[in-house]
Amino acid sequence: MYASIAQLEEVLALCHKAQQLSDTHGGMPVNVEKARESLRFFICDPHSLVLYNGTAVLIAQAAPSWCRDGYMIVNHLVYADKNGLPLIREYLRWAKGFPGHNDIFLGTSYGGEKGERAETLFSKLGLKRVGAQHKVI
């Protein structure tokens, strides 16, 4: 489930698919070399998380909070053709493993039916909507 450098091109392809499907990001140009470099960094960085199972990808990062003790833990991307739930559960487990009082967020950038399904799923997982993101409570 944890992505490896050997899977980098597969992960990149799924990320590109997600970007193309996004109403928000679909029209934006992509620098493939920058994306490849970023994914390589995220896969190797202990404060980053890249999960991949062949049909779903989740990329997240933990950074010290700018305003208080603890971490701000957020996802950069979540996309699943299918079987995304195990990745979300692993993200929550990983995020809760950081010491201290942390803010953990899980956002979605897709609207319509996919957004509504994500809303329902996040609610069932015990997440609370906070603005445009879902905060783990």
What does 64-126 look like in DSSP terms, one character per residue?
E-SSSSSEEEEEEEEEESS--HHHHHHHHHHHHTSSSS-EEEEE----HHHHHHHHHHHHHTT
Domain annotation for the chain: domains and CATH numbers: 5-136 (3.40.630.30)
Q: What is the mean pLDDT of residues 19-43?
A: 86
Note the pLDDT of residue 115.
54
Q: What is the mean pLDDT of residues 8-17?
A: 94
Note the pLDDT of residue 112.
43
130 pLDDT more than 60: yes
pTM for this entry: 0.84
65 pLDDT more than 60: yes
Q: Cα 77 from chain centroid?
A: 4
* Model confidence pLDDT, tens digit, residues 100-129: 889 988 876 554 445 566 677 777 777 777
